[in-house]
Amino acid sequence: MATIAEHFHVHGALGIGHSSGGHTTVQAGALRPETYRAMLLIDPTIYPPDIYGTPAPDASFTLRRRNVWASPHEMYERFKDRAPFSNWSPEILRDYCDYGVLPVDGHYELACPPAVEASIYENSKEPPANIYDMIASIEVPVVVMRAGRVRVPGKFDLAASPTAPELASHFANGGEIVLPDATHYIAMEHPDLVIEEIGRLSLTETRPSW
> In total, how many domains does the chain have?
2
Dihedral angle sign, alpha carbons of residues 100, 145, 164, 126: positive
Work out the number of other CB atoms within 10 angstroms of the CB of residue 148: 12
Q: Give the pLDDT mean for 119-129.
A: 94
Provide the residue range defining the domain that includes 99: 68-112
Q: What integer pLDDT is reported at residue 124 of this predicted model?
A: 93
Do residues 137 and 192 both lie within one domain?
Answer: yes
Work out the number of other CB atoms within 10 angstroms of the CB of residue 98: 14
- Selection from 191, 152, 144 nearest residue 17 by Cα: 144
Phi, psi of 145 (to 5 degrees): -95, 115
Q: What integer pLDDT is reported at residue 210 of this predicted model?
A: 40
Q: What integer pLDDT is reported at residue 61 of this predicted model?
A: 86
Is pLDDT at 41 greater than 90 in this prediction? Answer: yes
Instruction: Kindly state whether residue 60 falls inside one of the protein's structural domains.
Output: no
Instruction: Kindly state whether residue 118 falls inside one of the protein's structural domains.
Output: no
Mean pLDDT highest for which of 48-62, 98-112, 149-163?
A: 98-112
Is pLDDT at 103 greater than 50 in this prediction? Answer: yes
Work out the number of other CB atoms within 10 angstroms of the CB of residue 41: 28
Residue 187's pLDDT band (cuts 50, 70, 90): very high
Dihedral angle sign, alpha carbons of residues 112, 118, 121, 125: negative
Per residue in 67-92, pLDDT (tens digit) is 999 999 999 999 999 999 999 999 99
Do residues 32 and 72 both lie within one domain?
Answer: no
Q: Give the pLDDT mean for 144-151.
A: 90
Residue 66's pLDDT band (cuts 50, 70, 90): very high
Q: What integer pLDDT is reported at residue 13 of this predicted model?
A: 94
What percentage of the chain reaches a pLDDT higher than 70? 96
Q: How far apart are CA 36 and CA 125, in angstroms?
A: 26
Do residues 102 and 145 both lie within one domain?
Answer: no
- Selection from 159, 172, 164 nearest residue 23 by Cα: 164
Dihedral angle sign, alpha carbons of residues 66, 70, 74, 76: positive
Do residues 89 and 147 both lie within one domain?
Answer: no
Is pLDDT at 207 greater than 50 in this prediction? Answer: no
Q: What integer pLDDT is reported at residue 151 of this predicted model?
A: 79
Q: What integer pLDDT is reported at residue 205 of this predicted model?
A: 60
Do residues 103 and 135 both lie within one domain?
Answer: no
Is pLDDT at 154 greater than 80 in this prediction? Answer: no
CATH number of the domain to which 156 belongs:
3.40.50.1820
